[in-house]
Amino acid sequence: MTSSPSSLLLADFQAALLSAVAEVAENSLFAFADASDQTAFESAADQSGTDDWLDARIRFTGPVDGQLTVALPGALARRLCAAFAGADSADEVGERDLIDFTGELANMVCGTWLTRTCQHDAFTLMPPIVQCGGPERRVGGSPGDTGPARVYVAIDDTPLLLEIDCGTAAPNGPGSVPGGAYAR
């Protein structure tokens, strides 16, 4: 029996995504990444308020189509952006740079994850779309709807959420940018 590309992509996706985040954090952001959980993520979301979050979605196409979403607190994104840019402090990071960096973070994580998981396949990554606002708390849809696969990670002890949705990604084209979102 052969496995579908989608099942191969999602096989042990949690460990593969954690590994991708750890590689990006350590090699590009001078930070440490480790596994987290839903409780820690929801606590961070409750403490920071709903306006201080960034959400970056990047669509990928190839043997499997889908999208990866990264939701993280704005303060963490700002610190990581400063480290990435070599700035002396997070206060030096402008809003446009913060938006661009958050999209680039999703791009780096998605590219690293796909490269490690599907070493012999080619994927196309669409430009990320970054949205400001609180982390979405999706409630189950219709019966049997599992929704996106979730992975909770912490970078420098601050929780963030990664979601993978394979086979049902909405297009990331110029006309698909929702209100309040930025296309990189």
Helix (H) or strand (E) holding 10: helix 5-10
Instruction: Say what the pLDDT of residue 179 is.
Output: 38
Q: 159, 47 in Cβ contact below 8 A?
A: no
Question: ∠ CA(148), CA(28), CA(161), 5° rounding?
Answer: 20
Note the pLDDT of residue 105: 96
Whether 100 maps to a domain, the answer reads yes
Q: Residue 184: inside a domain, yes or no?
A: no
Provide DSSP, 14-30.
HHHHHHHHHHHHHHHSS
Residue 141 forms part of a structural domain: no
Q: Return the C-alpha torsion angle 108, 112, 113, 119, nearest 10.
A: 150
Place 20 in a pLDDT band, splitting at 50, 70 and 90.
Answer: very high
What is the pLDDT of the chain when averaged over all its residues? 80
Residue 144 neighbours by CB distance under 10 Å: 6
Helices (H), 122-175: none
Residue 20 belongs to what domain range? 5-136+149-170
Residue 125 lies in a domain: yes
Confidence class of residue 125 from pLDDT cuts 50, 70 and 90?
Answer: very high
Give CA–CA dist 83/90, Å, rounded: 8
Looking at 35-167, list the stretches that DSSP marks H as alpha helix, in order from N- to C-terminal side: 38-48, 74-85, 95-117
Q: Which residue has the tokens 């396949």?
A: 121
Total structural domains in the chain? 1
* Nearest-angstrom CA–CA distance, 175 and 71: 22
**Residue 9: partners with Cβ closer than 8 Å, 6 or more residues away:** 64, 66, 114, 117, 118, 166
Residue 137 has pLDDT above 60, yes or no: no
Residue 84: band (very low, low, confident or very high) from pLDDT cuts 50, 70, 90? very high
The answer to whether residue 182 is domain-embedded is no
Q: Is residue 161 part of a domain?
A: yes
Q: Stretch 11-33: mean pLDDT, rounded?
A: 88
* Per-residue model confidence (pLDDT) at position 120: 85
Which domain CATH number covers 49?
A: 3.40.1550.10
What separation in angstroms does the CA of 178 have from each of 35, 131, 170, 182? 31, 8, 12, 8
Residue 181 lies in a domain: no
Look at residues 77, 52, 75 and name the one whose alpha carbon lies nearest to residue 128. Answer: 77
144-168 pLDDT, tens per residue?
Answer: 456 788 999 999 988 899 999 887 4
pTM, two decimals, is 0.80
Residue 143 lies in a domain: no
